[in-house]
Amino acid sequence: MDKQKLKYAQNQSILLIEDDDDFRESTATFLGSFFKDVDSAKNGRDGLDIYVQNMDKYSIVLSDITMPNLCGLEMSKRIKELNRDQPIVLISAHNDTDKFIKAIEIGVESFLLKPIDFSLLIDKLLDIGKRLEIDKIESEKRILELELIQRSKMAMMGEMIGAISHQWNQPLTIISMCIDELKESLDNDKRLLELGDRAKDQINFMSGTIKDFMSFFKPNKEHVYFEIGEPLEVVKTILTHRVMKIKAEIIEENLSGERKYIKGFKNEFVHLLLILFNNSLDAFEERGHKDGRILIQYKFANSNAHIRVLDNGGGIKDEIFENIFNPYNSSKKSGTGVGLSITKMIVEKSMRGTIEAKNNKDGAEFCIVVPLVIPKEMGE
C-alpha cells in the first residue's frame, strides 16, 4: 500500500453515515486504523447536522443511500449545496441505475455496491485523500508564487518611489524655506500668514506621504512590535484620494481604549488592510454607493487582539462566499481572486492568528484574531 497515501490519511477525517448498526461500527473501526478521525451517524438527518457543525473537518463523506429520516442522495445534495467541493462516496445494496445517474448529477465522487469489498473501499478513499492533499499543496504553491510576484512588483514600485522621493525632497525643502522667509517678511498680515501655514501643512503632508509609501514598498521580513493604529494610519494615507473621490469614510474605533502591541511583519499588515479596504471601496463603486463606510474596530481580550473590519457595501456574493479565501475566487470583472487568499496567509502564517468572513445586515464583515505581545517579549 502506498505509504504516502497512508501518511496523508493520518491527517484526514471521515464522516460515515449508515443505518445498519453492525456495519456502521465495523466500518468505523476499520477506517479508524487509517484515518485521523471517523465520526458516524445512523441516518441522513443526523449526518447532515453533524456535517453542518463541522464543515471544515471532513475530507470525505461516506454514506449509505437508503436510510430513514433523510436518504443518502438528498443528504448529499444538501451537503453539495453547502460545499460543492466536498468529496462524497455513496454505498448501496442495490444496483439501481436511476440512483446511480442521480448521484452523478449531484456530483458524488464514487458509488460502491454492498457487500463492500473493504480493500476496494480503502483504496478508493486513500486515492481521494491523496488527491485532496495534492490539490491543497498546489493551491498553497500558487498562493506563494502570487505572493512572490506581488513582492517583486512592490520592490519595483519601491525603487520608482525612491527615485521620485529623491527628486521631490529637495524642491519641497526649498519651497518650505521660501514660505518661512515669506512669513517673516509679512509682519502681521493675518490672511497671508494663514495661507503660509496651510501651504506648510500641505508640504508636510506630501513629505509624510512619500515616507509612508517608501515604508510600505520597502521589502521587510523582520518581525516587529507595532500598534494596530500605526499601519492603519499608513493605509488611510495611501487611500486618501480614492476615499475622497467616492465620498466614503474610514472610521477607527479602539473599543478597549488601550494601547497594546502585536507582533508581525508591519508592511504585511498594511497590505492586509489595503486588500480589505480596497474590496470595500470596490463594492461601493460597483453599487454606486455615495455614503460608503468602512469601520475598523479593535479590542483586547484573553491575550489576543480582536479586529473587525465592517462595511456597508452590500455584502459578499453567495456564489463566492463558500470559498472566499481560496485563490482565483472573485466576483469582480477584473479581479484576480487572490487578495483574500493572501490575507489568510498573512494572518495565519505570519501572525499565528485566524480570520473569518461573514455578511451582516449592511455588508461584509471580517473578524481577525491575533496574539498580543507579552510585555517580557518586548524587554519590558
Q: Are strands 60-64 and 13-17 parallel, antiparallel or unpaired?
A: parallel
Whether 302 is in a domain gets the answer: yes
168, 294: one domain? no
Q: What is the pLDDT of residues 221-246, one digit of tens each?
A: 567 788 888 889 888 887 887 888 88
Burial class (CB in 10 A: 0-12, 13-18, 19+), 95: exposed
pLDDT surpasses 90 at 14? yes
In this structure, what CATH number is given to the domain that contains residue 54? 3.40.50.2300
Is the domain of 200 the same as that of 246? no
Is pLDDT above 60 for 5?
Answer: yes
Residues 6 or more apart in contact with residue 189 via CB below 8 angstroms: none
Same domain? 207 vs 240: no
Whether 17 and 94 map to the same domain: the answer is yes
Q: Are 290 and 235 contained in the same domain?
A: yes
Question: Can you give the pTM of this predicted structure?
Answer: 0.51
Last residue of a domain, one of 193, 217, 241: 217
- Shared domain for 37 and 167, answered yes or no, is no
In Å, what is the CA distance from 77 to each residue of 30, 87, 105, 106, 115?
A: 27, 12, 9, 6, 24
28 lies in some domain: yes
113-122, 179-188, 319-328, range with greatest mean pLDDT: 113-122
Is 147 contained in some domain?
no
The verdict on 10 and 101 lying in the same domain is yes
CA distance 110 to 66: 16
pLDDT on residue 299: 93
* Contact of 144 with 344, CB cutoff 8 Å: no
Interatomic CA distance for residues 73 and 353, integer angstroms: 38
Write down the pLDDT at residue 294: 95
**Cell 473501499 sits on residue:** 121
Rounded to a whole number, what is the largest CA-CA distance in the chain? 101
Neighbours of 83 (CB within 10 A): 16
What total number of domains does the chain contain? 3
Q: What is the pLDDT of residues 129-148, one digit of tens each?
A: 899 888 888 877 777 776 66
Kindly report the length of the chain.
Answer: 380
In terms of Cβ atoms closer than 10 Å to its own Cβ (0-12, 13-18, 19+), residue 29 is exposed
Q: 323 and 202, same structural domain?
A: no
Please tell me what DSSP assigns to residue 372: B
**Domain for residue 96, yes or no?**
yes
Q: Is residue 125 part of a domain?
A: no
Q: Are residues 110 and 234 in the same domain?
A: no
Q: Which residue has the higher pLDDT, 147 or 356?
A: 356
Q: Band the pLDDT of 254: cuts 50, 70, 90.
A: very high
Q: Which domain holds residue 19?
A: 3-116
pLDDT of residue 214: 61
Q: What is the mean pLDDT of residues 293-300?
A: 94
Is there a domain that residue 361 lies in? Answer: yes
| pLDDT for residue 217 | 58
**Are residues 163 and 254 both part of a single domain?**
no
For the stretch 200-222, pLDDT in tens is 776 776 676 666 556 655 555 56
Q: Would 141 be classed as within a structural domain?
A: no
Among candidate residues 175, 197, 217, the one where a domain is terminated: 217
Evaluate whether residue 143 is within a structural domain.
no
Considering the domain architecture, whether residues 63 and 86 belong to the same structural domain is answered as yes
In the predicted structure, residue 41 carries a pLDDT above the cut 90: yes
> What confidence tens digit (pLDDT) does each residue in 161-185 have?
666 666 676 677 777 777 777 767 6
Are 230 and 212 within one domain? no
